[in-house]
């Protein structure tokens, strides 16, 4: 099995480059922000960071394909880098420090492309998380200064901490009743949002999290970090991996109950 460590090191280089761009424009008074056709915001920093990452990939990994939130897919082949230049753009443009660059390498295999490397870099928080297939998940400031991640051992919903992004998405998709039922069963709920709940599941600080509407670039890096930390990452339909258009992540012990409640079967 490939060890993917060279790809992981390269993903850190990409994240370093993106961090320099995003932090340079974070809280800038003249930051340019536009509204995309899907009515979500995009800043000049989103586009600049993705362009920079694509440039590095073109020079160093010319045979690999790239899929990014701002500029779509380029190239073909069995290896594909997936990039979300700023996950949490709404936070970014308001000066809230909870945002991150998500970088993942996916490889073709059984069941389609699956993530084999993931880096989640949140420079405004001073945090970074990463994982490579078969090598575990870690958090720290660098590869040389890191702590291994492990999900929690909480086995009862009544003891579990549940993280989510917002109520509106669940209501829009007719899943609010199941969501509220789950929130009543757990010990604690918090709306951290975006990448952060998944990283806290990987750290063992949160036990379950879910979101009802996502794109592949929102999930690929998160998925490999959670699973390499010993957790479970699926769609709300239970399909493993980041391909369902929504996500549920857990320490594994609570995953079936998480899915059942969100489907109204709790």
Whether residue 9 contacts residue 143, with contact meaning beta carbons closer than 8 Å, is answered with yes
Q: What is the pLDDT of residue 210?
A: 97
* DSSP code per residue over 182-230: HHHHSSEEE---TTHHHHHHHHTS-SEEEESS--HHHHHHHHHHHHHTT
Percentage of residues in the chain having pLDDT higher than 90: 80
pLDDT tens, 189-223? 999 889 999 999 999 999 999 999 999 999 999 99
pLDDT tens, 139-171? 997 788 899 999 999 999 999 999 998 888 898
* DSSP code per residue over 44-90: HHHHHHHHHHHHHHHHH-TTSEEEETTTEEE--SSEEEEEEEEETHH
The average pLDDT across 122-135 equals: 96
In the predicted structure, residue 39 carries a pLDDT above the cut 80: no
Q: What is the pLDDT of residue 266?
A: 67
pLDDT tens, 2-38? 789 999 999 999 999 999 999 998 988 888 888 877 7
Of 36, 66, 63, 34, whose CA–CA distance to 52 is shortest?
A: 66
């Amino acid at each position: 099995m490939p060890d993917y460590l060279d790809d992981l090191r390269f993903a850190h280089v990409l994240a370093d480059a993106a961090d320099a761009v995003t932090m340079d424009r974070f809280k800038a008074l003249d930051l340019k922000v536009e509204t995309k056709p899907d009515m979500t915001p995009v800043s000049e920093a989103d586009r600049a960071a993705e362009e920079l990452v694509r440039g590095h990939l073109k020079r160093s990994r010319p045979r690999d394909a790239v899929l990014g939130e701002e500029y779509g897919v380029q190239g073909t082949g069995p290896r594909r880098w997936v990039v979300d230049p700023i996950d949490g753009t709404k936070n970014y443009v308001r000066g809230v420090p909870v945002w991150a660059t998500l970088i993942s390498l996916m490889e073709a295999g059984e069941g389609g492309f699956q993530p084999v490397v993931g880096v989640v870099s949140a420079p405004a928080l001073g945090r970074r998380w990463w994982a490579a297939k078969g090598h575990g998940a870690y958090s720290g400031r660098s590869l040389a200064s890191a702590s291994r991640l492990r999900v929690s051992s909480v086995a009862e919903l009544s003891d579990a901490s549940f993280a989510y992004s917002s109520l509106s998405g669940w209501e829009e998709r007719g899943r609010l009743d199941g969501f509220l039922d789950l929130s009543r069963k757990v010990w604690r709920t918090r709306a951290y949002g975006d990448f952060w709940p998944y990283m806290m599941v990987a750290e063992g600080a949160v036990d379950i999290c879910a979101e009802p509407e996502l794109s592949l670039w929102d999930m690929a890096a998160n998925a490999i970090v959670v699973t390499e930390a010993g957790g479970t990452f699926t769609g709300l339909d239970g399909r493993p991996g980041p391909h369902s258009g929504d996500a549920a992540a857990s320490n594994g012990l609570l995953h079936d109950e998480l899915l059942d409640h969100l489907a109204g079967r709790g």
